[in-house]
Every structure is written in C-alpha cells, then in structure tokens.
Amino acid sequence: MKIDKSIFKPYDIRGVYPNQINEYTAKLIGRAVTELLNPKQAVLVKDVRIGSDKIYQSLIEGLLEGGCNVDYLGESTTDMMYFAVGKYAYDLGISVTGSHNPPNYTGIKIVTKGVIPVSGDSGIFDIQEKAAAGRFKEVSTKGSYKEVNLRKDYTNHVLSFIDSLRIKPLTLCVDIGNGAVGDAAQDVLSKLPVKVHYLFKEKDGSFPNHLPDPSKEENVRSLKKKVLETRSDLGAAFDGDGDRVFFIDEKGDYTIGYFLTCLFSRILLKKNPGEKVIYDSRFNWAIIDTVKKFGGVPLLNKVGHAFIKERMRSENALFAGESSSHFYFRKNFFADNGIIPLLLLLELISSEGKTLSQLLSYYRKNYIWAGEFSTEVKDADIVMDKIKAIYSNYKVDETDGISIDNDREWRFNVRKSNTEPLIRLCVEGKNQELVNRVVKEVSKIIK
C-alpha cells in the first residue's frame, strides 16, 4: 500500500478517510515523526470525527514504537493541545482533526516544543518522504501511554485573560456544532454569571445539523434564529476542532474577523499600551486605525498561522488577528484559541455597557469591504505580473501577494493560493460604489 502524498499540505496533514488517510498511513506518520523530530514526550488530542476515531490509535502505535511516550487528553480541541505543549513543555503535540472540513475528512496537526507548528517550511514534507519510504531504525525501548485530564488547568488558563468579576449577567447562545469544543466551553462558561443556550452540544462526527465551518453563513442560520428567539446578547459558533470562533450580534447579524480583530486589539491595548499587534494582508485599514488610536503598533504580515506565529515570536507581539477569525495571543504561547476571544468579547460588552452591534457600528459604517473572492486561473504568476504592471503608479506592497492602495480611496489585495490554481481578491474602500467598481475592475483582469 502506498501513501497518498496529496494529504501533506503546507500547514497540516489532511484528507478523506479512508481513501486518502487511514490507519496504515497514520502509523507510518507516527513512526516518521519520532524518527525525524526525536520527541521523548508527546501529548495528543482528537476531534469527534469518525475518521479521527479510526486513525488516532494507529498514530499512537507509531509514536510508541518509535520510543515516544504519549499522554492522551481524549476528545478535545486543538487549543487544549496547544495549551498542554506550552504549559508543560511537551516535546510534541498532535491534534487528530479534520478541522472545518466535511465529515469524511480527518487529519493531523503537529507542533513541537514551544508550540512551534510543523508546516511545509519546517518538516511536513520531510515527514511525507520518511513515511512514504516506510523504512525506520530499530528502537529498543518502546514508549509508554497514559490518559491525562487537563480540563481544570485549561479552564483556569483561559479565564486568566479576563477579569471575571467584570462580567455582567449576559445571555448568550453557543453553537458547539456537534464538535470537540463542548466540554471545554461548558467548563469555562459555567464559571461566569452568564446564561447560556447551547446548540448541538452532543458530540457527533457526522455533523448532522450543519457542516463544522461557521465561516460560511449558511452554517450559522440556527444560531441566528436562536439569538433572536432568546433575545441574547450575542451568539458564538465554533469550528470542528474549536480553534476558531465566529460571532452573531444581538440583532442576528454576522460579524467578520476583520472587525473582531479591531475589538480585541482595543481591549488588549487598553490593558497593555504600546504593544505590537499583527494583522494580515486581506483587509487592514480599520485595524491600523484602531491599533494606533489605542496606543499600539500595527504590523502587517503574510496570511497563514505558521507565518503569523513566527512573526509574533520575533516581535514579541501582544496579539494577532486574521480575517479568517484565527486569533493569537502572546499569553497563550503565541497560539490561536477559540474560547479566549469569546471571553474578551463578554468582558468588552460588560465593561463598556454597549451591545455588540453598537461596538461594531463605527466599523461597519466607515470601513466598506468585499471578498474574499477566489478565481481559478491557468497561470497565476502571469496574472499577478499583469496586475502589478497595470497598477504600478499606485502604492504597491508585496508583503503577501500584491496589495494596491489608492491613498485610502480604495485598496485591494490579490494572493495566489498555496494549494490550488486560484487567485484570491479582497477589496476595501471609502464607500460601496468604489468597492464594487474595484471588484469588477480587478476581477476582469484576473479572468
């Protein structure tokens, strides 16, 4: 049997179970990881997917055969794994998860000591080659296995990001989405004076109520309805492995990661003035303005969690936010987390005495945006060069793809996909008419 090399992605390992990734593949990956990274102590979690349940034991077998001791945290979130590695200095952390993909997917996210991600630039493709070859050194001493419960420690950790005494008796709706975050979310929110209406908290890897991807609005329809029915102060929806969270305001309107980055920058900089905040290339005017207003230093960076985490460490940045609703915190070992943003939002609403829609109204009114639009192309490099030439008289930034800025009249960013023949377009501008015009103009060039 051969390994399907297409499962090895720039940021993780992911594929359809059992056709692309299966027990055989998982065991070989476990052995390859031990031989290449030489971990002595690993910690592992898995999500609720059927495929994850099938492959995690084989992955553990590979690790044990390679001489690595394994602590298993059970069905839990990728966040929990990050916490364990950061807090207790494990050599290796693994989350067996298909993240936000459809139910038939599973995958493997890997970090090393210090919660450093293993990505395309730092070892994933070496693991691919070693696993595909299937030849490993003999190991005289096998690793040991035990089950560990860190839920109480994790709860205390995420609660340390807020002043719990400032939280008012708010009402919220939380969509677990039948995913892995249910136990952790309930542990944390039970410590606060809030009333919680949970949706789909039963663990079910078939995701019978909606796909585990709340970045798509069709997957939060039930949450919107529940927020309005219960007159809740906000709604929160987690993705399949719990490392991202998406919000609905009290009016039932969807909230984008772009503006949430502004709100989190605001509350964190009030407590930590003068610190650095990292943002991505997709949309950024609102973030730049907010960070500067609250005494911080905004820093532009490439999209992608490995790039963001590396930059955060080098700059010792306080916080980073991506438009995709990945939010990273220095105090969280420079890793992303889904529960901390919910806690920060509860504290902001409580302390400022404003609704979520009121907190967002300034941004929604003054920063108009559109995207992210993905277009399939034959040759992405030719298209990118063409765009750069056409807009050469404007302010050009090539931190991540090409960003063109017309002195705050309008701005757009185009990026090549890492994994597909696609170009992605994001646009922001002074008004909707300008945004629509630029979307149409640039899309025509791309096509």
Q: Residues with catalytic annotation?
A: 99
d(CA 76, CA 45): 6
Tokens representing 56 are: 């995690």
Edge-to-edge order in the sheet of strand 327-329? 297-301, 276-280, 319-321, 327-329, 335-336
Tokens representing 257 are: 């990661």
Tokens representing 212 are: 């585990």
Among 96, 85, 16, 89, which residue's Cα sits nearest to residue 62? 96
SS3 track for 110-122: EEECCCEECCCCC
Question: Position of tokens 């839990």?
Answer: 76
410-416/402-405 β-pairing: antiparallel
How far does the chain reach from its first CA to its final CA, in angstroms? 41
CA distances from 128 to 20, 25, 27, 201 (A): 13, 10, 12, 35
Cβ distance 298 to 323 under 8 Å? Answer: no
Cα three-residue angle 165-171-172, rounded to 5 degrees: 105
Cβ distance 261 to 291 under 8 Å? Answer: no
Tokens representing 318 are: 């306080």
d(CA 208, CA 308): 33
SS3 track for 72-105: EEEECCHHHHHHHHHHHCCCEEEEECCCCCCCCE
d(CA 382, CA 316): 37
